[in-house]
């Protein structure tokens, strides 16, 4: 799947919120992130004028289906041994595998090693990392959300993310009842993520969305009382936060607010 572009924003009538809610989403989230977000993760680039896409790419691959606390020591170990993408590209596979051992999902490590070789070749030819979404998606193991994260956080360009945490936040906020495993729902979520992502500071917004999903809008016990989006979260209004995101086995039937009166 190719990520939507900044110029493909769909009609406002396709969304479940008013234009006011849609427009205020990013400012509310960014204000919350400034006060409550995580600002000390070693791969974060929003506090530097010279972002390093290598560390964002490395961390994004490690964080796929893996908790931050688990990734931290592995990330530190990789950065100690492979401080640049060229170092990783030149390493023997056995050394890379040894550093990855215990992190699981070993296809990620193979894609990481292959991707490092691809990136090193691109840098040799052009003098820099890829600068477009399409070029990042051409790197082994890099999907649309990872590519968007690298664009936004690793290069300070416009980029949209729609990973598991983001999908959970958005399906709850907009009460999206479609099966999250279906392509139609995926397209709907990407369209909403794009509509909400500001053209400036999309890197900060991406990190804020990740933090929202990881620290407040959690899978089983969302901390709605602390959420800056609570006032217009449709799932919260119906008391059905944990019904989302929807998968085929637990597809809910929409219940109108009137039935709770």
What amino acid positions are annotated as catalytic residues? 60
Token pair belonging to 225? 């009382």
Give, in order, the Cα–Cα distances in Å from 29 to each of 22, 41, 93.
Answer: 12, 19, 41
Longest Cα–Cα distance of the chain, Å, equals 65
Sequence-distant (6+) residues with CB within 8 A of 242 are 219, 220, 222
How far apart are alpha carbons 240 and 232 in whole angstroms? Answer: 13
Cα–chain center distance at 183 = 18
How far apart are alpha carbons 261 and 259 in whole angstroms? Answer: 6
């Amino acid at each position: 799947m190719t990520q939507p572009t900044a110029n493909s924003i769909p009609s406002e009538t396709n969304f479940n919120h008013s234009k006011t809610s849609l427009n205020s989403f990013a400012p509310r989230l960014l204000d919350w992130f400034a006060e409550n977000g995580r600002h000390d993760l070693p791969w974060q680039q929003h506090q530097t004028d010279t972002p390093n896409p290598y560390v964002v790419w490395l961390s994004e691959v490690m964080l796929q289906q893996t908790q931050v606390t688990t990734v931290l020591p592995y990330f530190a170990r990789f950065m100690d041994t492979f401080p640049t993408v060229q170092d990783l590209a030149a390493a023997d596979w056995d050394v890379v595998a040894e550093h990855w051992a215990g992190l699981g999902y070993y296809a990620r490590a193979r894609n990481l090693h292959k991707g490092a070789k691809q990136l090193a070749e691109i840098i040799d030819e052009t003098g820099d990392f890829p600068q477009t979404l399409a070029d990042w998606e051409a790197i082994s193991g890099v999907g649309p959300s990872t590519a968007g994260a690298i664009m936004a956080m690793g290069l300070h360009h416009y980029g949209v993310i729609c990973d598991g945490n983001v999908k959970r936040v958005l399906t709850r906020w907009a009460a999206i009842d479609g099966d999250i495993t279906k392509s139609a729902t995926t397209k709907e979520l990407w369209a909403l993520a794009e509509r909400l992502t500001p053209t400036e500071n999309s890197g900060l917004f991406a990190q804020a969305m990740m933090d929202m999903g990881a620290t407040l809008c959690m899978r089983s016990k969302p901390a709605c009382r602390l959420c800056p989006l609570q006032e217009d979260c449709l799932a919260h209004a119906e008391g059905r936060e944990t019904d989302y995101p929807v998968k085929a086995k637990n597809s809910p039937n929409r219940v109108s607010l009137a039935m709770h009166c």
